Structure 1
Amino acid sequence: MYNLLIILVILCICMSLRTLFFSHKLKNKQISFDNFLFLAFAYCVLMIGFGLIYLLLEIKGYHIIIDHGADLTGSYFHKLYTSLYLSAVTLFSVGFGDVVPLGIGRAIVIIEALIGYTIPAAFVVKSVLDHDQVSFRKK
């Protein structure tokens, strides 16, 4: 069951990234409020998706998160909160060190950090190139 959930979450993350790089219907292909909302939505999907991957691996018995020097324990909501926190801190920065990944979690964190750093650049380049194509067609 958990394997299926992990696969579904990975699929959602991939589809979110696909729409970022291969979208067909962004209005005027300019950086606008709509595009900003699209970028914010993509970040939210990634943050929640990776947080759920961390949580599902923890629930399955892989201890991949250390919280303040100890194994992640507590209620389901505490584990969810800590998993989402690790995901957000990884996606938007290099982390604070209070929640640390272990084992396979380190590889997942590296992938998430790489995605987090490349999305803004890819989004800006895509928006500028698409805007130039629209301007070229109007001439």
Structure 2
Amino acid sequence: MKYLLLLIVVIVAVAGVISSIYLLLKNQQSTGRKLSLRHFIVLFLVYATITAGFGVVYLSLELTGLSVLVEDGQYHYDSFFHLVEDVMYFSAVTLLTVGYGDITPQGIGRWIAIVQALIGYLLPAAFVVTSVFIYERERQRL
């Protein structure tokens, strides 16, 4: 039963991440400006969704007993809230940077962190390419 719940949570988290990336790529500006506030809000929401989605994946794996994160070389979590804080911190740091090394992934967590880091590197490129493409298309219409 607990593995079925884990599978459902992971599927929902992955669906959220994929839909966020799709939303970023699909978002179009309605004006001829190069950048828009709406575009930045969408980018922020995509980053927040991906951070939370991967955080849920790490949290689910930790709660099922599969240790995927090590803090300061030890497996220790005083409370559930400490665990939530650590997985969200690790998720954000992995997505936005390459990490600081204070919390490190183990086992399958390494592969998940690799995928998350790759997504973190590709999002700005997708944002810039989408912005330039939309701007050029609007400019050609004029």
TM-score range relative to shorter protein: over 0.9
Q: Which residue number in structure 2 is paired with residue 96 of structure 1?
A: 100
Percent identity among equivalent residues?
36
CA distance in 2 between partners of 1:4 and 1:28 (Å): 40
Runs of 4+ in 1 over 3 A off after TM superposition: none
RMSD: 1.3
Q: Which runs of 5+ in 1 are unaligned?
A: none
Q: Which runs of 5+ in 2 are unaligned?
A: none
Secondary structure at 2:95 match in 1: helix
Q: For residues 34-53 of structure 1, what are the structure 2 equivalents within 5 Å?
A: 34-53=38-57
Shift, 1:2, TM fit: 1.8
Q: Which residue number in structure 2 is paired with residue 128 of structure 1?
A: 132
Q: Would you say the 8 A contact 2:29–2:36 is kept in 1?
A: no
Secondary structure at 2:70 match in 1: strand
CA distance in 2 between partners of 1:4 and 1:26 (Å): 35
Task: Output the TM-score relative to the length of structure 2.
Answer: 0.91
Report the number of matched residues. Answer: 137
Aligned mate of 1:27, from 18, 30, 38: 30
Q: Would you say the 8 A contact 1:63–1:72 is kept in 2?
A: no
